[in-house]
């Protein structure tokens, strides 16, 4: 997201589960609790290969003039109730990967055990009663997260650059609904009925629709955050 020319900008996170795992584990998500995995395709057979249960789905897609126009139109018409959904705005340029991961973890804190006193534990406790913009400002001012993000952004396989034309969003299941969480929007977007057990399949349908609008691009990536194999039930 580009704000004013003087807005803070970070290097973008690579769409790489290994990078995201080291990032999250270093911030206080125990390795035995949850882990990011590649989703290699959106047909049923490939979705079945993803470890279950799936807690959240991250989707990287290319920004186009069409996608931006649709986002603005949809945002102005979005009247969905999203009480109980952990949502934050994005005010730092290229922080969409981190915001996506915070959305992923923030909506499943009742299902995973964060290390007490860790960054993630403190972050979600500190921002629990804040609104979406207050959470964004809190993140923007947090030096510890900025340093951790910088380390993760330079740990990928490709050279980090702040000149990007892709964006991360997160899908989560909450209150019987599938929510799209995009820090550049003013609120979560509901995509209809869903449940934790059908989250991956429900998100895949929405993602397929987004891909079909830009079928020639190869800049798509889907990553699932799942309970770790052998982790706590």
Active site residues: 96, 167
Q: Spell out the SS3 assignment of the chain.
A: CCCCCCCCECCCCCCCHHHHHHHHHHHCCCCCCEEEEECCCCCHHHHCCCCCCEEEEEEEEECCHHHHHHHHHHHHHCCCCCCCCCCCCCCCECCHHHHHHHHHHHCCCCCCCCCCCCHHHHHHHHHCCCCHHHHHHHHHCCHHHHHHHHHHHCCCCCCCCCCCCEEEEEEEEECCEEEEECCCCCCCEEEEECCHHHHHHHHHHHHHHHHHCCCCCCCCEEEEEEECCCCCC
């Amino acid at each position: 997201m580009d704000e004013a020319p003087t807005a803070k900008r970070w290097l973008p996170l690579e769409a790489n589960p290994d990078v995201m795992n080291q990032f999250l584990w270093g911030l206080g998500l125990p390795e035995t609790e949850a882990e990011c995995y590649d989703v290699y395709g959106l047909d049923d057979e490939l979705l079945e290969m993803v470890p279950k249960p799936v807690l959240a789905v991250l989707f990287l897609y290319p920004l186009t003039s069409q996608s931006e126009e649709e986002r603005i139109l949809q945002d102005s018409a979005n009247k969905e109730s999203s009480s109980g959904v952990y949502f934050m705005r994005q005010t730092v340029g290229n922080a969409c990967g981190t915001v996506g991961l915070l959305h992923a973890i923030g909506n499943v804190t009742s299902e995973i055990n964060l290390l007490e006193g860790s960054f993630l534990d403190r972050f979600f406790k500190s921002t629990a009663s804040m609104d979406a913009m207050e959470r964004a400002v809190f993140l923007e001012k947090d030096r510890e997260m900025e340093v951790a993000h910088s380390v993760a952004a330079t740990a990928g396989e490709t050279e980090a650059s702040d000149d990007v034309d892709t964006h991360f969003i997160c899908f989560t299941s909450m209150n019987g609904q599938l929510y799209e969480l995009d820090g550049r929007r003013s609120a979560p977007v509901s995509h209809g009925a869903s449940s934790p057990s059908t989250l991956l399949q429900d998100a895949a349908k929405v993602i397929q629709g987004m891909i079909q609008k830009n079928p020639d691009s190869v800049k798509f990536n889907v990553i699932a955050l799942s309970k770790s194999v052998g982790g706590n039930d």
